[in-house]
Amino acid sequence: MQVNDIHPLRPDPAEFIRIQERLAKQIDVSRPLRREDLRTVAGVDLAYGGEGESETGFCHVAVFDAATMQVVERAEAIGKIEVPYVPGFLTFRELPLIAAAAEKLETVPDLFLFDGNGILHPRRMGIAAHASFFLGKPAVGVAKTYFKIAETEYEEPEREKGSCTDIKVGGETLGRAVRTSAGVKPVFVSPGNGINLDSSTELVLSLTGPESRLPVPVREADISTRRMRRNWEEEQRLSP
């Protein structure tokens, strides 16, 4: 698939906030999107290995048929991580590998699900929001942990599957804590771009199976990045 050239994949860190604020003005989270509208849906995740100058990232994109939930294509990318981790700027660490993996896809997914946030971010530019501009498709963030914004806490949803509570920052609803399986920890869902919060919530719930609290495509990407890292670590151990 073609990846859009929105800005340099390795911009000057002095430009990070300016880039986020510019793109945030273009986000659209008003569009409803049903599972019946989707032919394919992709899960995206990254893992990291090594540290310091040798830190390496592993990106996996798993594309599923939205009707059968069978994998139709996979793409991977491995590369050096050049941006240190700073809260709020995770995307700039991960975009080069996401773009490299996505460019290998022959299938163009109708929706991307990210292990991370969408507009639930201080500048409304979590990984799902930011990456959507490069991918040119709707995207949803499904985070395993809560990224607190402006000291805003979230209310724990009821324990039944499908229970959720809105997360509001400054009076604006940016995401939801969603119980995808009864009795397990919630995930934190926020639209990235091209889709609204209600549709994001409904799709995350419908795409989550009984074996995990994550949607199937994200779980598959998560498992695959950890496999990639293990293989890389073994290669590093065996190399002279």
Residue 222 is assigned to a ligand binding site? no
Q: What percent of the chain has pLDDT over 70?
A: 100
Model pLDDT for residues 182-224, shown as the tens digit of each residue: 989 999 999 999 999 999 999 999 999 988 899 999 999 999 9
State the angle between helix axes of 16-24 and 127-135 in degrees (0 to 180), rounded to the nearest 10: 70
The mean of the pLDDT values for the chain is: 95
Domain residue spans of the chain:
30-153+190-238
Model pLDDT for residues 58-106, shown as the tens digit of each residue: 999 999 999 999 999 999 999 999 998 898 999 999 999 999 999 999 9
Residue 29's Cβ-side half-sphere holds a number of Cα atoms within 13 Å equal to 28
Q: Measured between alpha carbons, how far is 2 from 167 in angstroms, rounded to an integer?
A: 34
Q: Sorting pLDDT into bands at 50, 70 and 90, what band is 238?
A: confident
Q: Given a cut of 80, is residue 119 above it in pLDDT?
A: yes
Residue 121 burial by Cβ neighbours in a 10 Å radius (0-12, 13-18, 19+)? buried
Q: Sorting pLDDT into bands at 50, 70 and 90, what band is 239?
A: confident
pLDDT for 207: 97
3-state DSSP assignment of residue 183:
coil
The CATH fold of domain 30-153+190-238: archaeoglobus fulgidus dsm 4304 fold (3.30.2170)
pLDDT for 51: 82
Q: Given a cut of 90, is residue 109 above it in pLDDT?
A: yes
Q: Given a cut of 90, is residue 150 above it in pLDDT?
A: no
Q: Is the pTM higher than 0.85?
A: yes
- Give bridge partners of residue 187 from the DSSP assignment: 178
Q: Measured between alpha carbons, how far is 169 from 125 in angstroms, rounded to an integer?
A: 14
pLDDT for 135: 98
Planar angle of CA 230, 232, 238, nearest 5 degrees: 105
Residue 166 is assigned to a ligand binding site? no
